[in-house]
Amino acid sequence: MLLRDRVLGGLWGAIIGDALGVPVEFTSRQERRRDPVIDMRGYGTHHQPPGTWSDDSSLLLCTVETLCEAEYQPDQLADLFLAWLECGHWSPHGDVFDIGIATRTALHRIRQGIAPEWAGGAGERDNGNGSLMRILPVALRYADAPIEDMLFMAHRISALTHRHPRSQMACGLYCCMAKGLLYGLTPTEAYRFMLEQGLRYYNVAPFQTEYPHFARVLSGDLSDVLEDDISASGYVVHTLEASIWCLLTGRSYEEVVLKAVNLGDDTDTTGCVAGGIAGLHFGFANIPSPWIEMLARRSDVQGQIDAFFTH
């Protein structure tokens, strides 16, 4: 598979997974079992038309836009995040209908003059999935860099909204998984690569004390966990576990993202994070074209992704 097909698959795959989850966000797994998502829907939780993405993809696209530049500038990314919140930049329909508490708080701090990389919350309770959902472009942009450089950038870019080591480590592990998939490893091989790199690079302060929180994802046996034992809450570790589990146990892009969304709860983010790595593995050509055609601002998204790929 061509590298371009994997990059396109990863970015489109994340946005499609997000849009599949938007109409059923906050619904329970029991509800999803009674009425599973099998196609792109509309309305529901946020009363948005089919193909509408959430804050996940808006902030991911802001990150894509920033990383098109030759050198990363945190002030530029912060300005794009504020433009999204205040003016609807990279929103699907010109307004913001969903935002996490930690992200809103961090952007308020930036607006007050706090340096962007010090704005994210660093407390135990600041470990939602709001940086994990937008971190995939970092793995793609720095895939050719040494692992430690890619992880350093993932931590920096997470810190704008989520500065706790646990959130940064989750972003770094996900980027390792994505790097492996980008270069053609199977999901199982990419998972092992992530474990190896995680054990190698996170065995230092302040990350080594976070290991117990990642015990299951770092066990090497995540694919053996039963669905009933997988949580799809907004906690960053749960989102990382659920997304990798969906990829390890799915046989197609479609199966992976629908499995993620039908876990219930934080459906848009689990769909987005799982959809990104599923798209990397299965490629753009294997994302159902009707879902792409239904996506809001499809031509704008295509233009930004093309600019990112050609950078």
Rounded Cα distance, 305 and 311, in Å: 10
Report residue 1's pLDDT band, with 50, 70 and 90 as the boundaries. Answer: confident
pLDDT mean across residues, the chain: 97
pLDDT value at residue 287: 98
Can you give the pLDDT at residue 53? 97
- Report the number of distinct structural domains present in the chain: 1
CATH number of the domain encompassing residue 88: 1.10.4080.10
- At 310, the pLDDT band (50, 70, 90 cuts) reads confident
Answer yes or no: is pLDDT of 63 > 90: yes
Task: Using alpha carbons, select from 107, 110, 98 the residue that is nearest to residue 58.
Answer: 98
Determine the pLDDT at residue 311: 72
Distance of CA 8 to the CA centre of its chain: 15
Q: How far is CA 36 from CA 29, 103, 132, 260, in A?
A: 9, 30, 25, 11
The pLDDT tens digits for 130-140 are 999 999 999 99
Q: 171-212, pLDDT tens digit by residue?
A: 999 999 999 999 999 999 999 999 999 999 999 999 999 999
In this prediction, residue 196 carries a pLDDT of 96
Cis omega (within 30 of 0) on the bond before 206? yes
pLDDT given for residue 309 in this prediction: 85
CB pairs under 8 A, 24+ apart, for 189-197?
190/277, 190/281, 191/220, 191/222, 191/223, 191/244, 191/248, 192/220, 194/244, 195/220, 197/147
Residues near 182 by beta carbon (within 8 Å), at least 6 away in sequence: 3, 6, 7, 10, 139, 140, 143, 280
Copy the structure tokens of residue 221: 């046996």
> What is the pLDDT at residue 229?
97
User: What 3-state DSSP class applies to 139?
Assistant: helix
Please state the rounded mean pLDDT for residues 227-240.
97
253-289 pLDDT per residue, tens = 999 999 999 999 999 999 999 999 999 999 999 999 9
Nearest to 264 by CA among 37, 98, 9: 37
Rounded to the nearest angstrom, the gap between the alpha carbon of residue 147 and the centroid of all alpha carbons in its chain is 19
**Is 110 a residue whose pLDDT tops 90?**
yes
Residue-range definition of the domain harbouring residue 249? 3-310
Q: Which residues pair with 48 in a beta bridge?
A: 43
